[in-house]
A and B are shown apart, each in its own frame.
Chain A
Amino acid sequence: MDINLTLIGQSIAMLVFVWFCMKFIWPPILGAIEERQEQITEGLAAADRGQKKLEQATAEAEGIIVDARKQATGILDQAHSFANEIVSEGKSDGVKERDRQLAAAKADIEQEANRAREELRGEVSAIAIASAEKILQREIDAKQHEDILSKLAAEL
């Protein structure tokens, strides 16, 4: 239990170990720890930012989807009304066309009938004249008697 040279030896050993630790052990380990702490802090902040961005993007996407849906509905409605319009237009066009063609046909028919009537009338008057000629056996001035003939024709 005597105090002896060991004491000095131990003091020197301790100072050497402490010096070594101070020079070669402490700085790199603490440096690594601090660097990692920084990285972790940064990582957490980045994760936070990412989360926020994701939330933003989700909200944005939802907005876009809602908009798109609205737009789609609008387009669909428009298309429907357009289609209806086209159909009704087509209908009215058809009706008009039908009416027009009907009217045209009627007019044609009437015209034709009129023409035929006129022709008939002419022929009838010609026949009447011819028959009257034959009956009378003489020339009748067609021009003189035209009023009579046309009266006749009208009566036919």
Chain B
Amino acid sequence: MVSEGGHGPQTSGEYIQHHLQNLQVCKDEAGEWVWNHCAGNPMTVNVDSMFWSILLGLVFVVWFRSAAKKSSADKPGRLQALVEIIVDFIDGCVKDTFHGKSRLIAPLGLTIFVWVFLMNLMDLIPVDWIPLIAGAAGIPYMKVVPTTDVNITFGMSIAVFFLIIFYTIKNKGILGFVAELTLHPIAPPTKGLGLIAAPLIIAFNFILEIVALIAKPVSLSLRLFGNMFAGELIFILIALLGIYQLPLHFGWAVFHVLIVTLQAFIFMMLTIVYLSLASESH
């Protein structure tokens, strides 16, 4: 696949670059919304990522809501059984990790797992199909896997980050949150000459803990992004091979099914772990 969208012959580099380019709309200096001239502009929306992400989120919501509406204790249908297996699986994961009571953590885990899974699953659609259709419809760029967009993964992990802070403050109070940041891992001395060293120790703890706190969302999002981006890139490279791509594509796709599921599971599991840490005193 060396040419597409009627742009004439492309080099491999251009092909790859084209596939990694988001469809963007941004507000330029003049205050106008413009398409695809957005490099370095923070007031940009990656329209394709947002579109696919929200579309897949709606798929999740509609699918599970219809199952929830039909759910009863009677004999479940096939689709309901699948939904219930997923729900039961996540309920088990949450109960294994988190022993308190929370109305949020389990639904959060379910949403993250299914949503991230669906977004990752877009990676298995051959890389040219949707961009070709979009090109035919006059859309120049179309990146179909939202989780290969660092904004998407960061958006999710930052939401989780705020939930972590919210839950820590809710369960331990502001003072508890501050104490968690300053009194670990080295307890500052509270009497005698050591008091002089206390501010130093608190500062040291604070730097350490703040890094640990911020590392949570960063690692959460970069792990997902890195895995999916690398997988997508390899699909693109395989697609460059012409007819030889078929066995390679198949092999990588089979392997990628594992990554798709595993990354969704890891993102969910770590979110559950972080939130249970925020809710339980250690």
Q: Is the CB of B149 within 8 A of A28?
A: no
| A6 and B46 in contact, given A14-B111, A33-B84 (Cβ under 8 angstroms) | yes
Contact digits for A18-38, partner B, Cβ 8 Å, 1 yes 0 no: 101110111011111101101
Chain B interface residue count, Cβ-Cβ cutoff 8 angstroms: 53
- Give the distance in Å from the alpha carbon of A30 to the alpha carbon of B105 in the complex: 14
**Cβ–Cβ < 8 Å partners of B72 in chain A:** 32, 35
Say yes or no: B42 contacts A21, CB within 8 Å.
no
Contact with A30, one of B87, B152, B154 (Cβ below 8 angstroms)? B87
Interface check A136, CB cutoff 8 A: no
Q: Which residue from A13, A14, A29 sits with its C-beta under 8 Å from B68?
A: A29
Do residues B65 and A25 form an inter-chain contact, with CB atoms below 8 A? yes
B-side contacts of A39, CB under 8 Å: 73
**Is B207 among interface residues, defined by CB-CB distance under 8 A?**
no
Residues of B within 8 A of A20 (CB): 61, 65
Is B269 an interface residue when CB atoms closer than 8 A count as contact? Answer: no
Residues of A within 8 A of B45 (CB): 4-6, 9
Inter-subunit contact A25/B61 (CB<8 Å): yes
Looking at B121-129, B155-163, B184-192, B235-243, the stretch in contact with chain A turns out to be: B155-163
Q: Dominant SS at the A interface?
A: helix
In this complex, the interface size class of chain A, counting residues with CB under 8 Å from chain B, is 20 to 34
B175 within 8 A of A: no
Q: Which residue of A lies closest to B22 (CB)?
A: A6
Complex: how many Å from CA A38 to CA B103? 21
Give the nearest-CB partner of B61 in chain A: A20
A18-B107, A30-B87 given; A7·B68 CB < 8 A: no
14 contacts between A and B (CB under 8 A): A4-B41, A4-B46, A6-B149, A10-B49, A10-B151, A11-B159, A13-B155, A17-B57, A18-B108, A18-B112, A18-B159, A21-B108, A22-B107, A25-B68
